[in-house]
Amino acid sequence: MRPIDMILLDDIFEMGSGYVLDFSDRTMSQFFAQELNLDIDDPKYARNGTSKAKRLRAFLTIVDPATAVRTLRALWEYRQAIYARRGRAEAVANAEGRFLELIARLEGGPAAPAATPPPAFRRTQIAEARKALLALWDLPPQQRGFAFERFLRDTFDLFGLKPRDSFRLRGEQIDGSFDLAGHTYLLEAKWEAKPTPAADLHVFEGKLGEKAAWSRGLFVSYIGFSEDGLHAFGRGKRIICMSGEDFDEMFAQELPIDEVIARKARRFAETGNPYSRVRELF
């Protein structure tokens, strides 16, 4: 856990005055015991002081990354619950996106000794990616399609999804692929003046049908998808949809794209709807 990580956690969990959210000493001990089966009152966590914030900071620097992640996720869930119950507005800029970025880095484990540790937050790169997305409108129409594919490749690369450029199989074109959570996603990218209709979704679904059963599809349409087209496309397929609006919202909230796609996939599994807007998921 790095100092810059702790600054973020201080803000998120309101630790600036020695407190942690609304916990008392008793309720914090109960939370760690009941939710995590951990003893936050162990003297080793009081090496820098006995306040709740100092104990939590020491705890996070001592324990292994998996325990730290488990603890932070539990604290975040508790924080969301009390914020919702009290109707409190979010005071930390892009809190969830930055928190998820930290969790993703911790779950990645320690870097190799010779490697440069990845940044906790990619704020500069995300801002540049958002500018690149908006700049696509300034290109001549015939250049936008290829530029959009390059933008997607660079975005997937930014978040470590191992993208592969477009490739041609016998009789068909695939715009690219990437890996996420044990799944290979094939990519279809469209930049057209009108929302994507059902016919294009069916064509891509047909391509997926010829591939391995564990492969999935991500259909990215900059303009988005027609409601009639999504309805006509139906449910029970293997395609998840994203729009240019989704990418802009993702960048605005500084959300990791792997978490965005994972939540879209979960909503898809729950509802059968291939397209849920990012602003509805976070």
In a domain, 206, yes or no: yes
As given in the structure block, the two tokens for residue 148 are: 């959009």
**Both 97 and 161 in a single domain?**
no
pLDDT range class, residue 118, cuts 50, 70, 90: very low
Instruction: Please report the sign of the dihedral spanned by the C-alpha atoms of residue 140, residue 169, residue 200, residue 166.
Output: negative
Instruction: Cite the beta strand spans of 165-277 per DSSP E.
Output: 167-169, 172-174, 176-180, 183-190, 216-221, 239-243
Tell me the mean pLDDT in the region 160-189. Answer: 73
CA 276 to the chain's CA centroid = 14
**Other beta carbons within 10 Å of 71:** 20
CA distance 58 to 35: 19
Is residue 118 domain-resident?
A: no
What is the extent of the structural domain holding 49?
A: 3-107
How far is the CA of 26 from the CAs of 9, 23, 40, 52, in angstroms? 21, 8, 11, 10
Segment 196-205 shows an average pLDDT of 90
Return the CATH number at 201. Answer: 3.40.1350.10
What integer is the mean pLDDT of 147-164?
85
266 and 153 in a single domain? The answer is yes
Beta strand 183-190 pairing with 216-221: parallel
pLDDT tops 50 at residue 150: yes
pLDDT of 116 higher than 50: no
What is the domain count for the chain?
2
CA–CA gap between residue 71 and residue 85 (Å, rounded):
21
Q: Residue 184's beta-bridge partner residues?
A: 179
Q: Which of 74, 107, 140 is the last residue of a domain?
A: 107
On whether residue 182 sits in a domain, the answer given is yes
Q: Are residues 70 and 149 in the same domain?
A: no
Instruction: Single out the residue of 167, 156, 171 nearest to residue 206, CA to CA.
Output: 171
Segment 70-106, tens digit of pLDDT: 999 999 999 999 999 999 999 999 999 999 999 988 8
- In this structure, the answer to whether residues 154 and 246 fall within a common structural domain is yes
* Residue 238 and residue 159 share a domain: yes
Using the predicted structure, report yes or no on whether residue 170 has a pLDDT greater than 70.
Answer: no
Are both 147 and 243 inside the same structural domain? yes
Can you give the pLDDT at residue 109? 54
Question: What is the predicted pLDDT for the residue at 60?
Answer: 95
Is 114 part of any domain? no
Let me know whether 144 and 74 are in one domain. no
- Mean pLDDT, range 223-230, rounded to an integer: 89
Residue after which a domain boundary falls, among 48, 75, 107: 107
Q: Would you say residue 238 lies in a domain?
A: yes
Tell me if 96 sits within 8 A of 253, measured CB to CB.
Answer: yes
Where a domain ends, among 48, 80, 107?
Answer: 107
Statement to judge: residues 172 and 233 lie in one domain: yes
Q: Mark whether 28 and 164 lie in a shared domain.
A: no
User: For 40-62, how does the pLDDT look when each residue is reduced to its tens digit (9 = 90+)?
Assistant: 999 999 999 999 999 999 999 99
112 in a domain, yes or no? Answer: no
pLDDT band for 24, please (50, 70, 90 cuts). very high
Position 250 in a domain: yes
Residue 221 and residue 252 in one domain:
yes
Is the residue at 248 inside a domain?
yes
- 89 & 133 share domain: no
Let me know whether 84 and 157 are in one domain: no
**Amino acid identity, residue 77?**
E
- The pLDDT assigned to 81 comes to 94
pTM of the model: 0.64
Kindly tell me if the per-residue pLDDT of 113 is higher than 50: no
Contacts 24+ apart (CB under 8 A), 38-47: 38/67, 38/71
The average confidence (pLDDT) of the chain is 86
Residue 76: exposure state from Cβ atoms within 10 A (0-12, 13-18, ≥19):
middle
